[in-house]
């Protein structure tokens, strides 16, 4: 394939991030990247910077709706200043039980993925909106979907199947996992020396952890939705289902609408729980570390629950993998929060995980394990956009 501009679109609940690569056979050259952030506010941010970091656009527009936000991006990218994309890659958390492969987007495919919005309720609505708008605003340009669940498709049935009645399984309920594009990018960056037994912890606002054997996922902490698994910034993580049933009954005492009750429960589990729910302070690790320094016991408890849960998952994954060669930290907390890494690894010496305090005192890529640690521990930033470009180039060539 000759070198062509490939646009990558990666949307969150209040932001749309994008980047443009010049990509062809073997060539991956990032031209620029940008974002609109603060959707739903009067003072959003819209910026584009080139590969050297020079700001090409730097605005603070009102972003009342996602439509206004995406229109800004599309208008800028359709202007003469920027190359018109030859292909567009979209990040999608989960496309539901029938859409497991990365592929070219059609209107029918979008409709099918939208049927399973409940499988990634914070991410899917804006992602499908942008897919439809991209087809309208960039007519004739092929669009491709890149799924987080794609990396987890190698999990065995014992990991994906849920212990529920068959009628629920038939609705598509199973474990899909998320953050797959990040995991894939870590394996990609470790090539050609991908360790046989690898654990990657993606610790950001959403947090998850995966067990990877010979480059293939065998288990991951998130389940049907990104609400499961580790405790996250605002999400419960795994929780006794009886808790949700109890709270649903409590909500039902005050509303007769089942939809309203489900929505309230969803907001409680997805937006008010996790680090925010336990601490009552913030979902942001930086704020929590400040609060801990100031002696806030609830912030301490929230972070302890976070690191304790991750250490337990590491233990279970070591059992599943039959040992461990390498542990990788990634995501905003994994890359930057020195204390979280130290606290997670503090009790894991028996598993061969020994950090070097000096080496761990770092933000960004590094080996942070002690010289004689049986397990190598590394910090590696994800390269999700690059992975999406790789998939788009592959799919264009098919
Ligand atoms: P998202 O899931 O939204 O992509 P990120 O991967 O950007 O999230 O991670 C956000 C988290 O990373 C926040 O909890 C934030 O506090 C944390 N973080 C970012 N920078 C630092 C830092 N320097 N020290 C500690 N935590 C940090």
- Assess whether 75 and 19 both reside in one domain: yes
Return the percentage of the chain with pLDDT > 90, whole number.
93
- Assess whether 140 and 21 both reside in one domain: yes
Q: How confident is the model at residue 281 (pLDDT cuts 50, 70, 90)?
A: very high
On whether residue 165 sits in a domain, the answer given is no
The residue to which tokens 């609705």 are assigned: 171
The CA-CA-CA angle for residues 7, 12, 16, to 5°, reads 40
- Assess whether 273 and 352 both reside in one domain: yes
pLDDT at 26: 79
pLDDT at 3: 85
pLDDT digits (tens, 9 = 90+) for 108-124: 999 999 999 999 988 99
- Assess whether 146 and 83 both reside in one domain: yes
pLDDT digits (tens, 9 = 90+) for 194-241: 999 999 999 999 999 999 999 999 999 999 999 999 999 999 999 999
Q: What's the CA-to-centroid distance between 205 and ligand 1, angstroms?
A: 6
Query: Taking 90 as the threshold, does the pLDDT of residue 81 lie above it?
Result: no
Domain extent at residue 72: 4-154
35-39, 281-285, 394-398: the lowest-pLDDT one? 394-398
- Assess whether 129 and 205 both reside in one domain: no
- Assess whether 208 and 297 both reside in one domain: yes
On whether residue 386 sits in a domain, the answer given is no
pLDDT at 398: 78
- Assess whether 141 and 16 both reside in one domain: yes
Evaluate whether 223 touches 231 at the Cβ level (below 8 Å). Answer: no
The residue to which tokens 């305090």 are assigned: 357
**Looking at residues 299-327, what average pLDDT do you find?**
98
In a mutational test of the pocket of ligand 1, which residue from 222, 270, 286, 343 has the highest number of ligand atoms less than 8 Å from its CB? Answer: 286
Tell me, yes or no, if 148 is annotated catalytic: yes
Q: What's the CA-to-centroid distance between 351 and ligand 1, angstroms?
A: 27
CA distance 125 to 114: 7
On whether residue 334 sits in a domain, the answer given is yes
Whether this prediction's pTM lies above 0.75 is answered by: yes
Query: Taking 80 as the threshold, does the pLDDT of residue 141 lie above it?
Result: yes
On whether residue 161 sits in a domain, the answer given is no
Q: Of 132, 154, 176, which marks where a domain is finished?
A: 154
Q: Of 137, 154, 171, which marks where a domain is finished?
A: 154
pLDDT at 255: 92
Evaluate whether 113 touches 99 at the Cβ level (below 8 Å). Answer: yes
**Looking at residues 35-61, what average pLDDT do you find?**
94
Q: Whose CA is nearest to atom 25 of ligand 1?
A: 337
In sequence order, the 6+-apart residues with CB closer than 8 A to the CB of 149 are 93, 94, 95, 100, 176, 177, 178, 180
Q: How confident is the model at residue 104 (pLDDT cuts 50, 70, 90)?
A: very high
**Looking at residues 36-45, what average pLDDT do you find?**
93
Q: Of 129, 154, 179, which marks where a domain is finished?
A: 154
pLDDT digits (tens, 9 = 90+) for 143-180: 999 999 999 999 999 999 999 999 999 999 999 999 99
- Assess whether 206 and 150 both reside in one domain: no
- Assess whether 144 and 94 both reside in one domain: yes
Q: Which of 143, 335, 189, 378 is nearest to 369 (CA)?
A: 378
- Assess whether 268 and 149 both reside in one domain: no
Query: Taking 90 as the threshold, does the pLDDT of residue 367 lie above it?
Result: yes
Q: Whose CA is nearest to atom 21 of ligand 1?
A: 336
pLDDT at 1: 67
The CATH number that applies at residue 127 is 3.30.420.40
For residues 237 and 397, which has the higher predicted lDDT (pLDDT)? 237
Q: What's the CA-to-centroid distance between 335 and ligand 1, angstroms?
A: 8
CA distance 85 to 88: 7
Q: What's the CA-to-centroid distance between 78 and ligand 1, angstroms?
A: 32
The helices-and-strands tally (H runs, E runs) of the chain is 15, 14
Closest ligand 1 atom to Cα of 233: 14
Ligand 1 pocket list (CB less than 6 A): 204-206, 233, 284-286, 331-333, 336-337, 363
Return the percentage of the chain with pLDDT > 70, whole number.
100
On whether residue 88 sits in a domain, the answer given is yes
Q: How confident is the model at residue 24 (pLDDT cuts 50, 70, 90)?
A: confident
On whether residue 159 sits in a domain, the answer given is no
User: CA separation (Å) from 163 to 74, 134, 158, 159?
Assistant: 44, 39, 10, 10
- Assess whether 246 and 142 both reside in one domain: no
Active-site entry in 37, 58, 148, 337: 148
CA distance 311 to 388: 30
On whether residue 49 sits in a domain, the answer given is yes
What is the average pLDDT score of the chain? 96
- Assess whether 226 and 343 both reside in one domain: yes
On whether residue 180 sits in a domain, the answer given is no
CA distance 139 to 272: 40
pLDDT at 2: 74
Count the domains in the chain.
2
């Amino acid at each position: 394939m000759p070198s062509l501009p490939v646009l990558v679109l990666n949307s969150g609940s209040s932001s749309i991030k994008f980047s443009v690569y010049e990509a062809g056979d073997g060539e991956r050259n990032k031209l620029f990247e940008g974002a609109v952030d603060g959707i739903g506010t009067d003072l959003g941010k819209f910026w584009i910077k080139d590969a050297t970091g020079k700001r090409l656009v730097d605005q603070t527009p009102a972003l009342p709706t996602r439509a206004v936000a995406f229109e800004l991006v599309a208008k800028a990218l359709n202007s003469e200043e920027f190359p018109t994309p030859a292909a567009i890659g979209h990040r999608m958390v989960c496309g539901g039980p029938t859409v497991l492969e990365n592929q070219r987007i059609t209107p029918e495919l979008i409709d099918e993925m939208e049927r399973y919005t409940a499988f990634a309720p914070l991410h899917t609505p804006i992602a499908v909106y942008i897919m439809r708008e991209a087809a309208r605003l960039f007519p004739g340009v092929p669009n491709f979907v890149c799924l987080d669940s794609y990396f987890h498709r190698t999990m065995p049935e014992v990991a994906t199947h849920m212990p529920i009645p068959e009628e629920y399984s038939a609705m598509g309920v199973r474990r899909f996992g998320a953050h797959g594009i990040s995991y894939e990018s870590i394996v990609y960056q470790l090539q050609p020396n991908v360790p046989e037994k690898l654990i990657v912890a993606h610790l950001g606002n959403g947090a998850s952890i995966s067990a990877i054997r010979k480059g293939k996922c065998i288990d991951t902490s998130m389940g049907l939705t990104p609400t499961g698994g580790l405790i996250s910034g605002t999400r419960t993580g795994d929780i006794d289902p009886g808790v949700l049933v109890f709270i649903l009954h409590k909500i039902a005492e005050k509303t007769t609408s089942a939809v309203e009750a489900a929505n309230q429960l969803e907001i409680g589990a997805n937006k008010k729980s996790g680090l925010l729910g336990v601490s009552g302070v913030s979902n942001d690790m930086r704020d929590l570390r400040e609060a801990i320094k100031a002696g806030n016991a609830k912030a301490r408890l929230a972070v302890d629950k976070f690191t304790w849960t991750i250490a337990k998952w590491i233990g279970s994954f070591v059992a599943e993998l039959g040992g461990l060669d390498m542990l990788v930290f990634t995501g905003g907390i994994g890359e930057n929060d020195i204390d979280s890494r130290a606290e997670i690894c503090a009790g894991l010496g028996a598993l061969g995980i020994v950090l070097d305090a000096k080496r761990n005192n770092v933000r960004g890529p590094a080996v942070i394990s002690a010289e004689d640690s049986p397990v190598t521990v590394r910090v590696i930033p994800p390269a999700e956009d690059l992975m999406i470009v790789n998939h788009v180039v592959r799919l264009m060539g098919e």
